[in-house]
């Protein structure tokens, strides 16, 4: 399974319009594209950051769709007043405890490990079981870009309160990863999950 994420950092006042655009126009169109499995959308209403992620059943399907979907990315950038940034990933972990519902939130961590495979093994065997124990845990995923040596992990919670309560413990797990694997963590951000239809099967 593969995924493409499109990030736009723009005007917070445009967030609601951006959500409506993705829900009402982008999602119906992209689901008709050959090889598309689903779509998710996360937003940070405070700073105007929005990330739409589409899932694909093959790398070829994802690549073929890139130019076809470019007009939607351009229009989203115009609406939000920011330039779309595209990243393409392999989905290596997708684990769900239960489905999300209204009010779900997530924390996304971007990292550059010294040894990608070693960090993935640590994440699966050591960190994920601890993450699952967080109150309000809903799901976790890990995406990788092997060419760039980058990984992107998302942990979803039932509520903003559960996300807030996990913050200190999550920071400790990141420090453990840094100390034991030499991983560089270059961004951590928290979002509201407003569309949760990525539809990637369980991958652990």
49/8 Cα distance (integer angstroms): 6
- Alpha-carbon distance of 142 to 202, in angstroms, equals 12
Q: Identify the band that residue 182 occupies on the pLDDT scale cut at 50, 70 and 90.
A: confident
Query: Rounded mean pLDDT of 111-137?
Result: 93
pLDDT of residue 46: 94
pLDDT digits (tens, 9 = 90+) for 71-89: 999 999 999 999 999 999 9
Q: Can 2-83 and 92-195 be said to share one CATH topology?
A: yes
Q: Is the pLDDT of residue 186 over 90?
A: yes
φ and ψ at residue 172, rounded to 5 degrees: -65, -40
Percentage of residues of the chain with pLDDT beyond 70 = 100
Look up the CATH number of domain 2-83.
3.30.70.100
Domain residue limits, the chain: 2-83, 92-195
> What does the pLDDT look like over 29-67, one tens digit per residue?
999 999 999 999 999 999 999 999 999 999 999 999 999
Angle of CA points 188, 184, 204, to nearest 5°:
70
Q: Are 156 and 104 in contact (CB under 8 A)?
A: yes
SS3 196: strand
pTM of the predicted protein model = 0.95
Q: Tokens for 173?
A: 């797990």
- Reply yes or no on domain 92-195 having CATH 1.20.140.10: no
pLDDT of residue 201: 85
Whether the predicted pLDDT of 204 surpasses 80: no
Would you tell me how many other CB atoms lie within 10 Å of the CB of residue 185?
16
Burial class (CB in 10 A: 0-12, 13-18, 19+), 197: middle
Angle at 79 between CA 75 and CA 83, to 5 degrees: 70
Q: Write down the pLDDT at residue 129.
A: 94
């Amino acid at each position: 399974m593969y995924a493409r994420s499109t990030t736009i950092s723009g005007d917070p006042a445009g967030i609601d319009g951006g959500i409506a655009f993705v829900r009402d126009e982008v999602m119906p169109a992209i689901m008709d594209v050959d090889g598309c499995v689903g779509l998710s959308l996360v937003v940070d209403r405070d700073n105007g950051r929005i990330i739409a992620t589409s899932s694909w059943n093959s790398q070829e399907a994802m690549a073929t769709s890139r130019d076809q979907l470019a007009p939607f990315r351009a229009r989203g950038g115009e609406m939000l007043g920011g330039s779309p940034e595209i990243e393409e990933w392999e989905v290596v972990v997708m684990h769900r405890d239960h489905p999300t519902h209204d009010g779900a939130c997530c924390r996304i961590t971007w990292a550059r490990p010294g040894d990608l495979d070693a960090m993935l093994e640590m994440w699966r065997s050591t960190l994920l079981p601890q993450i699952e124990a967080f109150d309000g845990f809903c799901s976790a995923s890990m995406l990788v870009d092997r060419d760039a040596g980058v990984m992107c992990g998302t942990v979803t919670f039932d509520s903003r309160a559960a996300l807030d309560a996990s913050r200190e413990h999550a920071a400790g797990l990141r420090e453990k990863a840094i100390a034991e694997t030499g991983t560089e963590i270059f961004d951590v951000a928290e979002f509201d999950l407003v569309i949760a239809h990525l539809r990637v099967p369980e991958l652990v």
